[in-house]
Structure 1
């Protein structure tokens, strides 16, 4: 029998920790709890498989703790709990190494889905599959062939590079800054990125105005639908 995955919950609010403890335990996760940053850093020695981090902590800045965790545990998935409407904080967290974020108040089903996506993303990085599939979209990263259903889609070199980066991080929110840095230069006008996202959607989405694959995270960036 496989050992349960360990989840480190870092939150200074006892009701939130209790909610997560009960909700995650019913799904078979083993919970480690930290009410502050100091305890969280101590518990990292227990090798958690995933971290849930509330940025509002009493003893240190949440973004500083995030960067410390990422420096010590390069591959552990980190899901940040954030305040509604704090787009700048979400962008800073994602650029600082978070894999995803969820806005308070949140539903347990949504959190579990984000956790599963973050865990799949790490597995994908560690053993990247040559053919990526989600819904009717398939991307052969070896032969550089893109299909929607059975129909091959012809992309320009830059459109393919955009899709390749999204595929390599499928399920993870990628900020405008990150994508610009991967494809051009992070100082390049974000309008370039919007143009190529629009062109890519025209080719791979059934309805580009209601995309199913390349999803917009308003004010933050884009997310490719997680693999099947």
Structure 2
């Protein structure tokens, strides 16, 4: 049988697919089949592992089992949809009730497949979705705010050309603020986008991380630098001010 090759982004690389599936047989079958079809799959067996993997690398497609041992797949879909608006999410489920499928789609999934399904059908669904997407899928361009540059694709922050070393959560916090520069961003939004809505710890974690981010930005700045300042909005959240 002739192998149909996967589309690539701008002809530069194969599409990256994150598989979230706890069943050994299904996960191995998907990983092998997708790689043989020209995709670049990564397989995670748990929801927590998938969220960590999504923090480390950029993915084009998420194949998500709803019935995971540690988390509900619907919550993962909702979390990753909030973080990555361009991500193609296809839920995989053995649940046949309409309410489960509707919950997944309402959480941000683009499509669903009910188990068992064939690899050929999955590949056809992926090709159909990808054909309807823009031909070029380039990473978000770096955001320049005065002398501060936030590059989410490279996960780098520079100040007048010098790199500012930030912890992962500090960088994500800065990226959200930079995306909404000069806008008020609520604490709830920041917690959902940086720690995800499954965080059950104290929101003081946000304040501590914000304080550390402020220190890192000020430590690398001189009086001549044009550096945005982070303003605390009491009772609401924060604002990254460029003026």
TM-score (norm 2): 0.49
TM superposition shift of 1:84: 5.2
Measured against aligned partners, the alpha-carbon deviations of 1:157-199 in whole angstroms (never above 9, x if no partner) come to xxxxxxxxxxxxxxxxxxxxxxxxxxxxxxxxxxxxxxxxxxx
Partner of 1:70: 81
1:199-218 maps to which residues of 2 (within 5 A)? none
1:113-192 maps to which residues of 2 (within 5 A)? 113-123=124-134
Partner of 1:42: 52
Q: Secondary structure at the match of 2:132?
A: helix
Q: How many residues align?
A: 126
**Of 4, 9, 28, which residue of structure 1 is paired with 2:14?**
4
Q: Secondary structure at the match of 1:112?
A: helix
1:87-98 maps to which residues of 2 (within 5 A)? 87-98=98-109
Unaligned runs of 5+ in 1: 127-228
Q: Secondary structure at the match of 1:75?
A: coil
Unaligned runs of 5+ in 2: 1-10, 138-243
Q: Secondary structure at the match of 1:33?
A: strand
Measured against aligned partners, the alpha-carbon deviations of 1:56-76 in whole angstroms (never above 9, x if no partner) come to 011111111110010111110
Contact 2:60 2:86 in 1 (8 A): no
Question: Whole-Å Cα distance in 2 between the matches of residues 88 and 34 of structure 1?
Answer: 26
Partner of 2:64: 53
Is residue 112 of structure 1 aligned with residue 120 of structure 2? no
Give the number of the structure whose alpha-carbon radius of gyration is greater.
2
**Of 21, 30, 36, which residue of structure 2 is paired with 1:26?**
36
Question: Whole-Å Cα distance in 2 between the matches of residues 122 and 41 of structure 1?
Answer: 24
Q: Once superposed, what is the RMSD of the aligned Cα atoms?
A: 1.9
TM-score (norm 1): 0.52
Q: 1:84 to 1:55 in 2, by over 3 A?
A: closer
Partner of 1:156: none
Partner of 2:97: 86
Partner of 2:166: none
Question: Whole-Å Cα distance in 2 between the matches of residues 63 and 101 of structure 1?
Answer: 12
Partner of 1:102: 113
